[in-house]
Structure 1
Amino acid sequence: MSGEDRYFSGSVADHGFEFRETNMLAIDPQWRRQLVDYTHEQRPGTIIVDTSNHFLYVAYENNVALRYGVGVGLDGFKWYGSAQVDRKEIWPGWTPPPEMLQRRPDLPRHMAGGPDNPLGPRAMYLYRNGRDLGYRLHGTVEPWTIGTDASSGCVRLLPEDVVDLYQRTPIGTKVMVLDRIA
């Protein structure tokens, strides 16, 4: 098997849809979900995104974290700062923002949730001071983009990882998006 098909190994049923299961053997081990030693000063449960190194951490006690490999924004689309998860969706619909439609007029104006939707099986919507920032933690239909700068500012996870993260992330979870973590 070659090309993009090598990243898939079957399908997973989920809430009335099926998505292509990620072939973890095609994913570099560093991008796979794993518990790691991680020195931090955040409250347990805080999500920290290290955009330079393409990792998302869920902080736990005793300097441990659950680490996920992620895809982040392309140069010019990266953003940094704090937010919180104020909305979560299973099989979310996707409406490209006007700026994206200007760059890519071929995109649909709206896409219902489903296995071909670029947000994947879950999305967590990031807000600051009650305002939707337009950025999401979401799945991807392109697992080869994990570990790269590939998005318009959102944080992409493998479909299985975004389902896992969704279950661990209550509304109100603090999210820190950082450029570089020492």
Structure 2
Amino acid sequence: MELNRRELMLGALAGAATGAGLVPAEAAKATSKSSWYAGTAVDNGVTFKLTNFAVIDQKWHKQMVKYKSSEPAGTVVVDTQHHFLYMIIENQTAIRYGVGVGRDGFQWFGRANIDRKSLWPKWTPPPEMLLRQPDLPASVAGGAPTNPLGPRAMYLHGDGGDTGYRLHGTLEPGSIGKDVSSGCIRMFPEHVIDLYQRCPIGTAVQVLPHIADRMPQLDAQNG
């Protein structure tokens, strides 16, 4: 069930405040693929691997931060340079999530809106991706262990229609904080589930340019 705006704001404050302190900042680095995960959970009938946040750098954890922006509350801002996604709340605050972004030559920047949302979405590689990687399947069912979208996807549309870019989960926890995707914004499965609940259809999304000399908007955690 979708949450109303007040519930979204109150939930954001409570959820981010409790989530930020779950794991010590001095958490150990991952040493193997298996160490990225910590058990499983069931979501809408699908069993998936839980992220082992004990081996994830604290800066990529979900947390409440100070964030100055001219964008209104409820807007999603993606800072591709610093690999953060901000869900703007109120009073110059935001929920910050670590993300993986597009690699060199595959980035997309601009404004869009979330036009469609999907639980455990089916993945269909676009034609240009199939040309680069002809061994890819034509599609992967939602919830399949090899589906790279994970538990949620939010589809970005602009003035020209579907941009082809999404906010979605990932099967590769180690890709968060890196330039790795074909342009989409990757999130930890737990984080994309959380963000999905906070973003009704029509949510405005701004993806900021990945320019090395752009002055960042500082927040309380990375300032």
Q: Same fold (TM over 0.5)?
A: yes
Partner of 1:110: 139
Q: Runs of 4+ in structure 1 displaced over 4 angstroms? A: none
Root mean square deviation, CA, Å: 1.1
Q: Which residue of 2 aligns with 1:172?
A: 202
Give the alignment partner of residue 146 of structure 1, picking from 159, 169, 176.
Answer: 176
- Alpha-carbon displacement from aligned partner over 1:154-180 (angstroms, at most 9, x marks no partner): 000000000000000000000000025
Residue 220 of structure 2 corresponds to which residue in structure 1?
A: none
**Greater fraction of residues in strand:** 1
Alignment-derived partner of residue 42 in structure 1: 71
Number of the residue aligned with 1:89: 118
Unaligned runs of 5+ in 2: 1-29, 218-223
Which range moves more in the overlay, 111-120 or 68-77?
111-120
Deviation for aligned residue 1:130: 6.1
- State the TM-score, normalizing by the size of structure 1: 0.97
**Structure 2 residue matching 1:175: 3-state secondary structure:** strand
Residue 21 in 1 paired to residue 47 in 2?
no
2:127 pairs with 1:98 = yes
Aligned position for 2:190: 160
Amino acid at match of 1:123: A
Aligned pairs, number: 182
Q: CA deviation at 1:60?
A: 1.3
- Deviation string 1:4-42 (CA, Å, 9 cap, x unpaired) is 111100001001111100000111000000000101111
Report the residue type matching 2:150 in the other structure: G
Identity %: 57
Counterpart-to-counterpart distance in 2, 1:93 and 1:6: 27
1-side partners of 2:132 and 2:56: how far apart?
30
Alpha-carbon distance, 1:131 to partner: 0.8
So what's the TM-score if we normalise by structure 2? 0.80
Structure of larger gyration radius: 2
1:106 Cα offset (Å): 1.0
Aligned to 1:134: 164
Unaligned runs of 5+ in 1: none
Give the whole-Å Cα distance in 1 for the aligned partners of 2:31 and 2:206.
37
